[in-house]
Amino acid sequence: MSHTFYIAMSYAVSAIVILCLVAWTWLDGRARRQELAELEASGIRRRSAQPKGDAA
Amino acid sequence: MTDSLAISKFTELANPTRFLALAARILPWMAAATAILFAIGLYLSFTTEGDYQQGATVRIMYVHVPAAWLSMMCYTVMAVSAIGTLVWRHPLADVSHKAAAPLGAAFTLIALATGSLWGRPMWGTWWVWDARLTSVFVLFLMYLGLIALNRAMDDPSRAARVSAVLILVGFVNIPIIKFSVDWWNTLHQPASVIRMGGPTIDREFLWPLLVMAIAFTMLFFTLHVMAMRNEIWRRRVAAQRRMAARLAGREA
């Protein structure tokens, strides 16, 4: 195997791991935001986010 | 900035809502800076000359060394956060060390894989159980263990305290990794950049390496802020689900 193979593999492995990490972080954030939006749409809000006088 | 003002700014960030607002403002800038630094770093990595002994294989160093530095820096960030959890009970400290563990595991994996890919043509072997390689492999296992521990425990505050203690105990491995090449006779070459007396590496290789190291560091901080934001949202979802279950129980 030529040295080019080892260099290309190193950059490919790094790129794959980094892209997976970025995609996982971004998709995780999108899924959590969606869950929060669904909960708020169904009227479930955090106490601090509820309008005053509606805390009970 | 006086000490009390600096402390009050730090305390303000303890409010997750303020942290989320700050993250929304700074994340686009951090992501843009990361992309620009990677573009410059990769250009330099592939346009500079090869080493007279290693040839073009020296280019592996531009991803291997920053990943190896980050694997240790990420654990150091986790150790500082662990102190924040145990000493100051800062509400974002446990969010920080929980969010950093998968990032640290990923950078350690890159360091191990690219090191192995460099070792085969240069040393004639993919792997040896020498002090540096073994201690970095132990670091990788520690990251995996901390991720598993955080996922295994239902109570986030208890998981945070147990993780914080384990992180601080495991921090002993960081100086072992750093100084392993000086303390023991290993196959891995000694430090050539961060060492007493300055770098021994030629400027031609030092510049791409430094730009790539800054790019990797910016990538880590960008992903860390994103992962912390995700963790805060995850906890809010869990809290709102509990609230919904309580309301449903009252109505039933």
Please give the pLDDT value at position A56: 39
Task: Give the mean model confidence (pLDDT) for residues B199-214.
Answer: 85
- Comparing CA positions, the residue from B15, B244, B14, B91 lying closest to residue A36 is B244
Name B55's bridge partners: B51
What tokens does B44 get? 């330099």
| ipTM of this predicted structure | 0.87
Task: Give the mean model confidence (pLDDT) for residues B117-124.
Answer: 91
pLDDT tens, position by position, B28-81: 999 999 999 999 999 999 888 777 777 788 899 999 999 999 999 999 999 999
Alpha carbon distance B23, B113 (integer Å): 32
Residue A34, chain B, CB below 8 Å: the answer is: no
Residue A18, chain B, CB below 8 Å: the answer is: yes
pLDDT tens, position by position, B160-193: 999 999 999 999 999 999 988 888 877 787 776 6
User: Do the chains contact at A6 and B240, CB–CB below 8 Å?
Assistant: no
Side chain identity at residue B214, one-letter code: I
What percentage of chain B exceeds 70 in pLDDT?
90
Residue B56, chain A, CB below 8 Å: the answer is: yes
The whole-model pTM stands at: 0.88
Which chain B residues have a beta carbon less than 8 Å from that of A50? Answer: none
Alpha carbon distance B104, B78 (integer Å): 9
> B5-27 as b/e, with b when 16 or more CB fall inside 10 Å?
eeeeeeeeeeebeebeeebeeee
DSSP B55: B
User: Do the chains contact at B226 and A21, CB–CB below 8 Å?
Assistant: no
Task: Give the mean model confidence (pLDDT) for residues B107-118.
Answer: 96
pLDDT tens, position by position, A12-46: 999 999 999 999 999 999 999 999 999 888 877 76
